[in-house]
Amino acid sequence: MKNNNRFLNYLPYLVVAIAMFSLFNLGGGSGSTQKLSYNELLNVLETQDVTKADVSIGYNVIHVKGIYNDGAQDILFSSTVPNTESQSDLVLELLNEGQVAVIDAEESNLFLDTIISFIPYLALGGLAIFMLTRMQGGGNNKAFEFSKSRAKLEGNIRVRFADVAGCDEEKEEMVEIIDYLKSPKKFAKMGARIPKGILMVGPPGTGKTLLAKAVAGEADVPFYSISGSDFVEMFVGVGASRVRDMFKKAQQTSPCIIFIDEIDAVGRQRGAGFGGGHDEREQTLNQLLVEMDGIGENAGIVMIAATNRPDVLDPALLRPGRFDRQITVSLPDRKGRKEILEVHARNKHLGPDIDLEALAKRTPGFSGADLENVLNEAAILAVRESSDLIHMSQLDEAIDRVMMGPAKKSRKYDEASKKLVAYHEAGHAIIGLYLDDATVVQKITIIPRGQAGGYNLMTEKEEKMMRTKKDLMSTITSYMGGRTSEEIFFDDISAGASGDIESATRIARDMVTVYGMSDLGPIKYDSGSGNVFLGRDYNSPSNVSGQIAFEIDQEVRKIIDTCHKQAHKIISEHKDDLIKIANALLEYETITAEQIDLVIKGLPINQDLPKKDVNKDDKKDDGNTEEPVVKKTTRKRKPKAEQNQLPLEEPKPVDIPEDQNPSLDEINESDSIEDEIETKTPKI
């Protein structure tokens, strides 16, 4: 395709070269042909040996072309003789004297000869005009089209509601729009006015554009698509002209849908002051407001716009009569995520071990675009591994790659750092196991990803519409588990908990300043974490005094300290289980939630077997854990003698003296679980 385009680019120059060459040939411009006058022709015929001659007798002139030999070479000659009786007889007589056969050509047409002589010049002129027009069309010199609408008209859209999953309520809101576009008279008969504009609000990747295309596909109407930034240009008035042209075209093809993506680029609040003034954008917005008011009731034009920043839109744009219906397209829940995965898995070759329900459970907070990216990454990994099917292990790796980036297996820890990371991540897992309403660990790895030395996938036990104070406190406690584990087992802390501390502090501050979950009462304070709209919020006064700011900090500290103490208590009471999980991490580097349960029960784990095979082996044990232990084949980092050097202590109370905590040297003496641990099953 690229080669064809390259040939078309050079085609005009090739045609011009051929035309010029033809012009010189037709014009007799060859340097080897002598053009003789009448006297020179007579001299040549009298003195030279003419070997060939062609004579064309016209009404007024005689054209003579021939070849004569001057003794050294043959020379082409041509001449024109007036067609008089004496001169024509003389020329013919001389030719006959030279014993040259004369070819009397058909009598030529002067008008036709004149036209033929002008053909090369006409061809050159046409080519010049064509190239000039093409150069203007390929550059930015479209003077006549500069103010035209750039909305792309898409017809025969194949997207349907069946291709949009995870937003059932949003599709229900759009059904009546489809019904109106198909039969508008039904609404006019009832006296109903269909909404002129629908504003879809939601995070990026939730399917706002896809939903708008599905509406056009179901209604089978023209679909005009344009971005908000396509209206705004450097020159004032161009955007307004494009808006007028867009609505003019839409009225000619109604019923139709006009979809404006990222409308906040043109619909921001007017007169915002510092940093917010823009004459071209404001004039474009004014024209858009006027055109939407000019749309008559049931005129067959439906405006659909999408944005993820509704807080910066101009209030005049959101009033009834313009964008008078707002639909929030939120992130999908577990059921919606499963439906989205089923839609995007239609063209994927999935293995028999794929469980989309479990995959949806492990991806909270993922948008539809994220889930599509997960399946695509898994397919790429399958191709990379020369696999015919996509397996669950590749989907697990794809989730990690989307969230944290690819694993950096080449980055090696020293033994002390590796053990520190293992105990840190195991601290999060223990909190999720023994604290109600805490986030549950679905997967732990001590392989570095992105900027993190380890990775811990934590999800809620149940997805809730609203979170209570107890839920938030449990979540903060889960975040503090890693730091607390470092304090208890190593009597030291690392910088690896910075992300956990940041997340815990943000939740605690929102509890105080936004949710009113503190001793300060149900009062909304400025949290300082919102998106600032420059010009509107830059100089907005704060409603927090210095004393209140101090009390907010005190309440945030109080919440963090309470959760920290609770994490310290839980980890201290379940040290044995934490050591089991940490040793499993040191041996396998990556373990899942199911494998964590097996480790806690003292059962062996085998990552090469699918989940169902491990459970089947577990059922065959009938409570006897000795047989699996014998069959277990794992990598032993140290001899058996060294493994038995770590005696386990009984759980201690909350406040443990410093001298009774196990030291780092004692922890380093063991890397795996001894047989005595496997026979003890903690109370979960």
Fold of 334-404: Helicase, Ruva Protein; domain 3 (1.10.8)
Q: Identify the bridge partners of residue 444 per DSSP, sorted by sequence position.
A: 456, 591
Per-chain mean pLDDT for the chain: 75
pLDDT confidence of 619, banded at 50, 70, 90?
very low
Whole-angstrom CA distances from 104 to 57, 79, 587 are 7, 15, 106
Counting Cβ atoms within 10 Å, is residue 123 exposed (0-12), middle (13-18) or buried (19+)?
middle
Indicate if the pLDDT at residue 201 is higher than 80: yes
* Three-class DSSP labels, 341-409: HHHHCCCCCECCCCCHHHHHHCCCCCCHHHHHHHHHHHHHHHHHCCCCCECHHHHHHHHHHHHHCCECC
- The set of residues, in sequence order, having a beta carbon less than 8 Å from that of 582 and lying 6+ positions away, is 419, 422, 423, 425, 426
Residue 195, preceding peptide bond in cis (omega within 30° of 0): no
CA 399-405-408 angle, 5° bins: 115
| Average pLDDT for 442-451 | 78
Amino acid 8: pLDDT: 59
How confident is the model over 46-74, as pLDDT tens digits?
Answer: 777 777 777 776 667 777 777 777 777 77
Catalytic annotation on 40? no
Q: What angle do helix axes 498-513 and 546-573 make, rounded to 10 degrees?
A: 130
Residue 203 assigned ligand-binding role: yes
Amino acid 537: pLDDT: 53
Helix (H) or strand (E) holding 21: helix 2-26
Q: Give the other-Cβ count within 10 Å of 524's Cβ.
A: 10
Say how far apart CA 304 and CA 200 lie, in whole Å: 7
Q: Catalytic: which of 170, 397, 425, 678?
A: 425
pLDDT confidence of 121, banded at 50, 70, 90?
confident
Residue 428 assigned ligand-binding role: yes
Question: Does the fold of domain 415-668 match that of domain 334-404?
Answer: no
Write out the CATH class of domain 152-328: alpha beta
Residue 163 assigned ligand-binding role: no
- The set of residues, in sequence order, having a beta carbon less than 8 Å from that of 100 and lying 6+ positions away, is 50, 51, 52, 53, 66
Amino acid 540: pLDDT: 54
Poorest-pLDDT segment among 463-467, 520-524, 572-576: 463-467
Q: What's the DSSP call for residue 269?
A: P
CATH number for the region 415-668 comes to: 1.20.58.760
How confident is the model over 483-526, as pLDDT tens digits?
Answer: 999 999 998 888 888 888 999 999 999 999 989 998 888 888 86
Amino acid 414: pLDDT: 77
To the nearest whole percent, how much of the chain has pLDDT over 90?
A: 15
Indicate if the pLDDT at residue 662 is higher than 50: no
Q: Which two tokens stand for residue 616?
A: 């089947």
Query: What architecture is the 2-123 domain classified under in CATH?
Result: 2-Layer Sandwich (3.30)
| Average pLDDT for 120-124 | 75
How confident is the model over 231-280, as pLDDT tens digits?
Answer: 777 666 778 888 888 888 888 888 888 999 989 888 888 765 544 456 77
Cβ atoms 614, 638 nearer than 8 A: no
Residue 484 assigned ligand-binding role: no
Amino acid 147: pLDDT: 66
Q: For the chain, what are the domain ranges?
A: 2-123, 152-328, 334-404, 415-668
527-531 contact pairs (CB < 8 A, 24+): 531/309, 531/311
Cβ atoms 266, 309 nearer than 8 A: no
Residue 364 assigned ligand-binding role: no
